[in-house]
Amino acid sequence: MVLMRLFGLSVFVSLAVVTAVVFVSAKADDSEVETQLDERWWSPGDGRVFPEILDYSNASGQLRIQLTGGEIDTNGHPFFEPYGPAGRACITCHQPSDAMSLSTETIQSRWEATNGQDPLFAAVDGSDCPILPQDDPKSHRLLLERGLFRIERPWPPKPFLDFPERAPDFKIEVVNDPNGCNSGPEFGPDAGKISVYRRPRPAANMKYLLAVGFEYDPKQGLGLPRDPETNVLLSGNLLADGRASTLKDQMNDAAHSHLEFETDFWSDAEAQIEDFLLRVYAAQQVDAVGGSLDDLDAGGGPDLLATSEAGQLGSIGRAVWSEFEAWETMTEAEKTAIGPEATAWRESVARGARIFRDRTFLISDSAGINSPIGFGNPVRNGCAFCHNMRQMGNDVAPGQVDLGTTVLPFADPAPELPLFRITCLDEPHPHYGREFFTQDPGFALSTGKCADVGKITLQSMRGLSARAPFFSNGSSETLQEVVEFYDRRYNIGYSEQEKTDLINLMSAL
C-alpha cells in the first residue's frame, strides 16, 4: 500500500502483495528451517513466540531481526502486552518488520486494514492533535505521510540530568500552528506545553546506543553525567532530544507519553523490557541484487552486531563499515561465482564505505561540530566524522548535533509542521544570530539553551531499508533524498556515481 499525492490530496492505493515472513531457529540446520506465511504486523497481546531469527522482505532485499539467548514467549511480556486506555503496547510503534521502528508504508497499510481504528492512531500522539476529528485521515497526516508522532514537551524545560535548574535563555513564539497543538488554552508555550513531531527511533542494537567512547561530551566541553543508580556513564543516544538518559528512563517516558500511564512501569516489567531490548539486533541480511550480506570475512547482518564490541571508533585507521572491505578485493573466481550484476553492486557498496570514511568536505554552521568548543568553522572532514562508531554509525562521542534538518534556512519547507520563532535572550546563537526559525527546537527543549536549538541526537544507521522515511522529522522519504540533503547542505559536490555508491551502502546496512 502506497500513499500518492495528487493535486494536494492524499490518495491511498492498495498493492496486493503477499509477504513471506521466515521464522528460523538459530540452532537448527537447513533441514529444520520452517517457513510460513504470516502477517507482518504484531498486534498487542498476540501471544506469539518471538523466535531467535525473524526475516522480513523489503524493497532492497531482506531484513533480519536476531534475538540472542533464545526465543521469548511474548504472552504476558510487558513489551508486547496492551496497556493504557488505547490498548497500545511498546511493540505497536516498534515493529520487527520495520527494524524495530515504524515505516510509513506499514502505517498506511495499518490505517487501511483497520479503517484508522488501530491503537497506533490513538489521539494522544498518533494524530496531529487530540482536538481534531479522529476518524478523518487528514487529522493523522503527519503520521501517515511522514511517520511522525506528536511529542509534548514541558515549557519551560524541567531540570535536566545533573545540570543546574535555570530559566531558558531564549523566547519561543509560535509562527505557524497548522494542527492546533501549539496554541489556545490547552496547548502551546503559554499553556506550558510545546508539541513537536518526530520519528520513532529503533528499539534494537541497544548496546551500541548505550556505549560511550569518551568520558566527556566534546560537543559541550563537559564531563558525561552518570546513572545515579549504577554510576555508569550515560551516552545520551536514546532519544532525539536526549531527555531520557537510561533504558529505564526511556521506557517510562514512553509509558507516560505514548501508553498514557499515570505511573512508571513496575520493576519486574522494567527488567523484562530491558532484557529484551539488550538482546534484539536488526540489520539488512540479504540484498536483492548483491545477495547475502553475511558471507563477508567479518560476517555481516545482525550477527555481526551481536558479536562485535560496541563503542569502537571507526573514523581513524579502522573503517566504520569494515565488513565491506573484503568486497574491494574480490578475486575473479568470487566475481564469477556471484555474477556481474552482484559484483557491480558489491563493488559499489565497498566504494560507498570508503567515500563515507574518506571523502571530505567543509562542514559549517553546525552546532555540536563547529561550536560551542568546536573544531573550527568550517572544518574539513567526512561522514564518519560524526557517524563514527564501527558497525553502527552513531557517534562514540556523546552529544547532539544540528545539521539544519529542522532549522531555517537549511530545513526543507514543511507548512504541515509547526514553525517557531526563537529569540536568544543572552548571547545570539553562534550560527543563526539573535532571531531565527525552527520546526523543532530539539535538544534545547531539554536544556533551555538557545545554542542547543536544532540539535538532534544522531540516528543509528542499521536497518535503513526497512524504516523510511529518514531524519527526525521524516523530511527525506528515500535514501537518495538523504544523500541529496547532505550534498546540498554542505555543498559537497558528489558525483552521480558517488551518490549511488552511498545509497547502495546505506541500503546494505
62-119 tens-digit pLDDT: 999 999 999 999 999 999 999 999 999 999 999 999 999 999 999 999 999 999 999 9
Whole-angstrom distance, CA of residue 482 vs CA of residue 392: 17
Percent of the chain with pLDDT over 90: 75
* Amino acid sitting at position 93: C
At 493 the pLDDT is 98
| Three-state DSSP state, 492 | coil
Domain spans of the chain, in order of start:
17-163+200-277, 310-399+462-468+478-507
The pLDDT of residue 247 is above 50? yes
Mean pLDDT of the chain: 89
Whole-angstrom distance, CA of residue 408 vs CA of residue 422: 11
| 404 in Cβ contact with 489 (< 8 Å) | yes
At 27 the pLDDT is 32
Helices first, then strands: H and E counts in the chain:
12, 21
Can you say how many angstroms the Cα of residue 389 is from the centroid of all Cα atoms in its chain? 15
Query: For residue 194, what are the contacts with CB-CB under 8 A and spacing of at least 6?
Result: 152, 153, 154, 155, 172, 182, 188, 420, 441, 445
Percent of the chain with pLDDT over 70: 91
371-391 tens-digit pLDDT: 987 789 999 999 999 999 999
pLDDT-derived band at 159, boundaries 50, 70, 90 = confident
133: cis peptide before it, omega within 30°? no
The pLDDT of residue 336 is above 80? yes
At 222 the pLDDT is 78
309-318 tens-digit pLDDT: 998 888 776 7
At 207 the pLDDT is 95
Average pLDDT on 26-39 reads: 37
262-272 tens-digit pLDDT: 889 999 999 99
| Three-state DSSP state, 173 | strand
180-204 tens-digit pLDDT: 999 989 999 999 999 999 999 999 9
Residue of 68 and 458 predicted with greater confidence: 68
pLDDT-derived band at 164, boundaries 50, 70, 90 = low
pLDDT-derived band at 26, boundaries 50, 70, 90 = very low
| 266 in Cβ contact with 252 (< 8 Å) | no
pLDDT-derived band at 299, boundaries 50, 70, 90 = low
128-153 tens-digit pLDDT: 999 999 999 999 999 999 999 999 99
At 351 the pLDDT is 96
Query: Kindly report the CA angle at 466 between 460 and 467, in degrees rounded to 5?
Result: 60
| 363 in Cβ contact with 370 (< 8 Å) | yes
Closest CA to 42 of 135, 112, 119, 144: 119
The pLDDT of residue 7 is above 60? no
| 300 in Cβ contact with 321 (< 8 Å) | no
Can you say how many angstroms the Cα of residue 300 is from the centroid of all Cα atoms in its chain? 21
C-alpha cell at 242: 536526549
C-alpha cell at 141: 497526516
Q: DSSP letters of 197-257?
A: EEPPPPS--HHHHH--S-SEETTTTEEPPB-TTT-PBP---SSTT----SHHHHHHHHHHH
Residue 231, judged by CB atoms within 10 A of its CB (0-12, 13-18, 19+), counts as: exposed
386-415 tens-digit pLDDT: 999 999 999 888 789 999 999 999 999 999
At 297 the pLDDT is 52
